[in-house]
Amino acid sequence: AQSVTQLGSHVSVSEGALVLLRCNYSSSVPPYLFWYVQYPNQGLQLLLKYTSAATLVKGINGFEAEFKKSETSFHLTKPSAHMSDAAEYFCAVSDNQGGKLIFGQGTELSVKP
């Protein structure tokens, strides 16, 4: 069975500081991994995805994530936080069967001026 764990339900950073949101996964098959962002009162939108190509994945809005098989991790980073980055972030894993995504519990990112 697959699962995803996001460390920290809430992360707070200052504007301009590094953003690091942690995600660890468990999968018995090579996983497909995703980061989604949810702004208040909106649906989720895809930030980036890993599908067994390059291990460093670049996404929208300056975010990137690195797949580390040895650590079973897929942490999300952004060099410099912006106020507009404040949102809920979800890591997700798929086994490529039927398109089913298993989501982590989410991390709320707050950005202080």
d(CA 43, CA 34): 15
Applying CB under 8 A, the site for other proteins has a residue count of 23
What string marks each residue from 52 to 91 as x (binds other proteins by CB under 8 A) or -?
A: ------------------------------------x-x-
d(CA 20, CA 3): 20
Q: What is the largest CA-CA distance in the chain?
A: 43
- The single residue among 45, 52, 55, 61 that binds other proteins, judged by CB under 8 A, is 45
> Do 2 and 74 contact (CB within 8 A), yes or no?
no
* Token representation of residue 52: 């067994």
Question: Quick one: 61 or 105, whose CB is closer to other proteins?
Answer: 105
Enumerate binding residues for other proteins (CB under 8 A): 32, 36, 38, 41-46, 49, 51, 88, 90, 94, 96, 98-103, 105-106
